[in-house]
Amino acid sequence: MTTGTIASEFAPPAAPAPLTPDALRVVDLPTPYLVTDLDTVAERYAGFTAALPGVATFYAMKCNPAPEILRTLADQGAGFEVASIGELRMLQALGVDPATVLYSNPVKPPGQIAAAAGMGLWRFSFDSPNELAKIAEKAPGSAVYVRLRVDDSNSMFPLSRKFGTDVEDAYDLMLLARRLGLRPYGVTFHVGSQCGSTSAWQSAIRLAGELMERLRGDGIELEMLDLGGGFPARYRAGVPSIEEIGAVVQDALAELPYRPALIAAEPGRHLVAEAAVMAATVIGREMRGDENWLFVEVSTYHGLMEALQTAGGWDFPVWSSVPELPGTETLPFTITGPTCDSSDTIGYGIPLPATVTVGDVVYFGSAGAYSLSYATAFNGFQPPTPVFVGTGQPRARR
């Protein structure tokens, strides 16, 4: 089996049936809006669990904390991972038991550790002796899982510079946890957001296995291996399928010195990105030198922040309300937002019908991840209105 970077034979993802261009053209809502198909969220969850049998799913709610999405995933049997007490309180308000939740932010405010423990949460991530000291003081006796630093060079958003520790230090930290009266519970890692290499999971699981083997010699058998996040969604570029990732993960798990009772994963964008489309009206069309520019009523500050975080703009599938018939002429457009800041530009060289103009609508596909959770009202332009369709039950897989 090939375990390197895999770009599956690829076409941009088809929009969910309620979010196709024809369906959106007749939506009677003022733009901008972000419409999410909850059936697709449920479908993606079903596909994820099928590709990773025996792996418990804890949704990384920072990706999109809309209550409608949280309820849909809870109804399907998903667990949750939080990064703050605010997220935990949102879950509790929806009836989720904090005792079932993972708190995987490696560096937490002391007061939030105490508050989470007071609500019944008992599993905390860490990657340093300082964090262990905080947990031991504010949540004595809690279970802790150490975050490893792993190769995330094939991801769009690497995280290893900010978080994680190497195997040697992780070993020492888990022994320290035991001395502090904490429960050495597990190991976790994160291969980076939107990871494009199946081998990233293979090598990370191998490192986790090294730590497990070392700790077993000191009488510590870990109860949890958390695969973290990074599971990619489809935009316009090819990424490994969840089935390809799942096959590599299962092979790597089979090589562990023993299998912890809980194998967990924390998917975020893989479950929600492709379930949503953002609609924005064109407010201006201009020529800048030899470039065609479209100005639309949302920008990187109003829900498309990842376009600002990546060179050249984010790779959203884009279409418009202008019908594209056979032979329709297209032009490459630079698409930018309505603010007075040039960094609100979303993408470059995006092909759209040559006739697109003021009043037409531009649709950004695969917009369900890190959109409204990042959105602001910068320059007085309001974020898109969230709209939800579907029953939250999976359709037959496409």
d(CA 51, CA 235): 20
Average pLDDT over residues 319-334: 90
Q: Are 296 and 278 in contact (CB under 8 A)?
A: no
Which of 318, 387, 275, 364 has its CA nearest to residue 16?
275
Sequence spans of domains, the chain:
39-272, 273-389
Type of residue found at 117: A
Quickly list H helices, 27-100.
Answer: 38-51, 67-76, 85-93
Query: Can you identify the CATH homologous superfamily of domain 39-272?
Result: Alanine racemase (3.20.20.10)
pLDDT on residue 192:
78
pLDDT at 238 over 70: yes
pLDDT on residue 373:
86
pLDDT in tens, 6-24: 444 445 566 777 787 778 8
Query: Can you identify the CATH homologous superfamily of domain 273-389?
Result: Lyase, Ornithine Decarboxylase; Chain A, domain 1 (2.40.37.10)
pLDDT in tens, 330-350: 999 999 999 998 888 998 999
pLDDT on residue 3:
40
d(CA 262, CA 224): 5
28 confidence band (pLDDT: 50, 70, 90): confident
Q: What's the mean per-residue pLDDT of the chain?
A: 90
Q: Which residues contact 370 (CB under 8 A, 6 or more apart)?
A: 63, 64, 269, 305, 306
pLDDT in tens, 63-74: 999 999 999 999
d(CA 208, CA 203): 9
208 confidence band (pLDDT: 50, 70, 90): very high
Active centre residues (catalytic) = 340
DSSP 197: B
Average pLDDT over residues 291-319: 82
